[in-house]
Amino acid sequence: MTETARVDMETIVSLSKRRGFVFQSSDIYGGLSSCWDYGPLGVELKRNIREAWWKAMVHERDDIVGLDSSILMHPQVWVASGHVGEFADPLVDCKVCRQRFRADDLAGDRCPSCAGELTEPRMFNLMFKTFMGPVEEEAAVVYLRPETAQGIFVNFQNVLNTTRKKLPFGIAQTGKSFRNEITTGNFVFRSREFEQMEMEFFVKPGSDEEWFEYWVRQRFEWYVNLGIKREHLRLRPHAQDELAHYAKGCYDIEYLFPMGWCELEGIANRGDFDLVQHVKHSGKELSYFDDETQQRFMPYIIEPSAGVDRSFLAFLLDAYEEEALEKEKRVVLRFHPALAPVKVAVLPLSRNEKLVPVAKKVHSLIRGGFVTQYDDSQSIGRRYRRQDEAGTPFCVTIDFQTLDDHEVTIRDRDSLKQVRLPIGMLPAFLEAKLGGESFEILP
């Protein structure tokens, strides 16, 4: 394998489809390009990513609160934010095959598909437009939000008034965003409907550089703590001419995807751009009054902005391993236990009438505490392989010896070690292993 292709995208796309992580949207109608549906395993992984983020950002901190703002907002929000005027990519059309490309993606001045002649670049706004109410007229135009951040800025005073937070503090939100991207692709990496995890951290001007560095470090370590190999991540500072219209500084956390190093998350120092813009356009007071210094000022904002779908892809790629066992190849997803879609599989050795009731009992003993899967089809070996491929950390097997000694076998996904344990000790054992730092069965 080359440095940039540990596991190729085709393998991950095919595993995703075969095992129910991700399906093409509207598949039975031939699919809708760049839109994806998350299947039974995928939806669990996605929820776990979102919840791990929420836990780290909101629940484990005193200085960040949550928000869930609506996708449709007053159209003036997007005028103030600069999205109506500036959120555009240069677009070229091929005069021969009519395909469209992002001008800044092209190496030459001929169509990459048919070598035809290209039009001059035109700016193309990336926001999806729709109409509010029954009349399709210009006055009724609203946009599907292209980022969740603006919902946070326009609620800054509401949150301040209701929580009595003091600077520095943050507001976090996760949710869908929409961008009419010119070129999509690389599976869920770039789509037109995607989910973001964004946090806006409001600080005193002058302390912004320090907080900026702090959040870059925090966010980098979040991925490492959830199992992404450090050598597959890197930080890339934006060059001055690459900065977005609102940013004072920006770092991308990049992941080594099969197509090369690409952005996973951006951390920006937005200065006071957003609040100043909203004051200008709404006429409302959005400054902060500091009790201690008796001064009123505009806070600066540090924003870590991550994509759920891109993280999903990175966690999936990084967890994937193929191992040669005696006679066959084992595909295993070594997810961190907090992210694994299923935590424990309960497997009776067979559908024997004496084993099944005991296995069902074991299942009901643990399913309240962990996401479990009960599986009694096919050979035990094949069921282990299936769970490995889904990334399930533990399999609990009920066999004939269980009927005598009330013990079950627990198998560890990563080390393949097995231990026997009394059924009654199972919940505490799993709690310790799945909730703790080390989840190997016999460390």
Judged by CB under 6 A, the number of residues near ligand ATP is 15
Q: Is 181 in the site for ligand ATP (CB under 6 A)?
A: yes
Place of tokens 């540990």: 6
Nearer to ligand ATP, 288 or 312 (CB): 312
- According to DSSP, the β-strands at 249-257 and 418-422 are unpaired
CA distance 77 to 153: 10
Q: Is 46 in the site for ligand ATP (CB under 6 A)?
A: no
Candidates 303-311, 364-372, 377-385, 433-441: pick the segment binding ligand ATP (CB under 6 A).
Answer: 303-311
Nearer to ligand ATP, 47 or 102 (CB): 102
Cβ of residue 305: shortest distance to ligand ATP, in angstroms?
4
- What's at 345, amino acid-wise? A
Nearer to ligand ATP, 181 or 412 (CB): 181
3-class DSSP assignment, residue 289:
strand
Among residue numbers 186 through 215, which ones bind ligand ATP (CB under 6 A)? Answer: 190-191, 194, 196
Nearer to ligand ATP, 83 or 343 (CB): 83
Q: Is 44 in the site for ligand ATP (CB under 6 A)?
A: no
Encoded tokens for 137 = 């007229």
CA distance 137 to 133: 10
Candidates 51-59, 108-116, 291-299, 301-309: pick the segment binding ligand ATP (CB under 6 A).
Answer: 301-309
Please report the beta strands in 2-63, taking only residues with DSSP state E, as ranges in sequence order: 22-24, 36-38
Nearer to ligand ATP, 145 or 386 (CB): 145
CA distance 304 to 291: 28
302 within 8 A of 201, measured Cβ to Cβ = yes
Candidates 274-282, 306-314, 321-329, 345-353: pick the segment binding ligand ATP (CB under 6 A).
Answer: 306-314
Task: Return the residue of 44, 254, 309, 399 that touches ligand ATP, per CB under 6 A.
Answer: 309
Q: Give 280's Cβ-side CA count (13 Å radius).
A: 11
128 within 8 A of 143, measured Cβ to Cβ = yes
What is the dihedral sign for C-alpha 184, 190, 191, 193?
Answer: negative
270 within 8 A of 303, measured Cβ to Cβ = yes
Nearer to ligand ATP, 219 or 385 (CB): 219
Nearer to ligand ATP, 21 or 288 (CB): 21
Taking CB atoms, the residue at the shortest distance from ligand ATP is 307
Task: Return the residue of 310, 385, 386, 411 that touches ligand ATP, per CB under 6 A.
Answer: 310
CA distance 187 to 262: 13
**Which phi-psi region, left, alpha or beta, contains residue 198 (left: φ > 0; alpha: ψ -120 to 50)?**
beta
392 within 8 A of 439, measured Cβ to Cβ = no
Among residue numbers 239 through 278, which ones bind ligand ATP (CB under 6 A)? Answer: 263-266
Nearer to ligand ATP, 51 or 193 (CB): 193
Nearer to ligand ATP, 55 or 176 (CB): 176
Task: Return the residue of 154, 306, 358, 430 that touches ligand ATP, per CB under 6 A.
Answer: 306
118 within 8 A of 110, measured Cβ to Cβ = yes
Encoded tokens for 61 = 């901190």
Q: Is 307 in the site for ligand ATP (CB under 6 A)?
A: yes
Q: Is 179 in the site for ligand ATP (CB under 6 A)?
A: yes
Nearer to ligand ATP, 216 or 264 (CB): 264
Encoded tokens for 430 = 């799993």
Nearer to ligand ATP, 305 or 387 (CB): 305
The DSSP annotation for 320-333 comes to EEEEE-SSSEEEEE
Cβ of residue 255: shortest distance to ligand ATP, in angstroms?
10
Candidates 135-143, 283-291, 307-315, 377-385: pick the segment binding ligand ATP (CB under 6 A).
Answer: 307-315
Cβ of residue 264: shortest distance to ligand ATP, in angstroms?
6
The DSSP annotation for 73-100 comes to --HHHHHHTTHHHH-EEEEEEBTTT--E
3-class DSSP assignment, residue 354:
coil
Binding-residue pattern over the window 109 to 148 for ligand ATP, x denoting contact by CB under 6 A: ----------------------------------------
Binding-site ranges for ligand ATP (CB under 6 A):
179, 181, 190-191, 194, 196, 263-266, 305-307, 309-310
